[in-house]
Amino acid sequence: MMTTMTATTRRASVIVPMLGAALLARTLSAQEPRPGPRGGPRPVDTPTPTATTLPRDDGEARILEAIEQARQGERYANVSEADGRLLRQLAEAINAQRVVELGTSTGESGLYFAMALRKTGGTLHTFDIDPDRLAVARENFRKAGVEDLIVIHEGDAHVEAPKLDDRPIDLLFIDAEKEGYDAYLRELLPLVRPGGLILAHNMRRPNPNPQYLDAITGDPALDTTFLLMEGAGMGMTLKKR
């Protein structure tokens, strides 16, 4: 009996890591147009609905204006509007008190988080190694009037983020160097509370980290869905209770 169980476990350890790439491939292929009855593309009956954020109050209008200004002539990579709105919606939906972001860039994702944190009373801890990007981010946060909601950490997030105290993380957003995603997950997953979320940007392009995909799809303590895959792609992972 013990021999059979050991062999089964050994086979699972080989099979499970392969599921991450397969799941992502199925997610992408499911979004390709399916052929119509004569082999051509299936006609689309209605256009994809779109929406924009309507400011609820003057504070939110100020943040949205800062985001719009930040996008004018920007030189650094940032989240798209759809990605940013998803970040805000999820943070507000789970009443996030502590959000940790790895990869500040110039602060556009942080501004979306700030819209949620104004309502939840929470704080964003954001990490970036580039002082030039952080200088722009600080100015964007100042223009939006959200400096009191955001703590900026300058330095290597692999070194600095694990120094956070042991208060639980409600939402972890990974958007730093792609080859480090799996290491960030190992370093910070213990701090994410049960029921918390791990969001990872660029799950479609550029090529996602295969080790990270294996980690989020091969762990029975996690449950992952891929969203907004028509763009850069977002991985949303629940740390099960």
For 25-68, what is each residue's pLDDT tens digit?
Answer: 555 554 554 554 455 554 555 566 778 889 999 999 999 999 99
3-state secondary structure of 140: helix
**Which tens digits make up the pLDDT trace of 61-107?**
999 999 999 998 767 889 999 999 999 999 999 999 999 999 999 99
pLDDT band of 24, cuts 50, 70, 90: low
Are 130 and 89 in contact by the 8 Å Cβ rule? The answer is no
Per-residue DSSP letters for 188-216? HGGGEEEEEEEEEE-SSSS---HHHHHHH
Asked if residue 130 has pLDDT above 50, the reply is yes
pTM score above 0.85: no
Amino acid, res. 221: A
Res 3: pLDDT: 41
3-state secondary structure of 199: strand
Asked if residue 108 has pLDDT above 90, the reply is yes
3-state secondary structure of 121: coil
Q: Which of 149, 52, 53, 62 is nearest to 101 (CA)?
A: 149
Question: How crowded is the C-beta side of 232, counted as CA atoms within 13 Å?
Answer: 17
Alpha-carbon distance values, 46 to 43, 49, 82, 139, 143 (Å): 9, 8, 20, 41, 39
The residues spanned by each domain of the chain are: 79-241
**Which tens digits make up the pLDDT trace of 2-19?**
444 444 444 444 444 455
User: What number does CATH give the domain 79-241?
Assistant: 3.40.50.150
Res 146: pLDDT: 99
Spatial CB neighbours of 69, under 8 Å, sequence gap ≥ 6: 140, 143
Q: What is the spatial distance between Cα 169 and Cα 89, in angstroms, rounded to a whole number?
A: 17
Res 22: pLDDT: 55
Token pair in block for residue 81: 């509007």
**Which tens digits make up the pLDDT trace of 213-222?**
999 999 999 9
**Which tens digits make up the pLDDT trace of 153-194?**
999 999 999 999 999 999 999 999 999 999 999 999 999 999
Res 205: pLDDT: 87
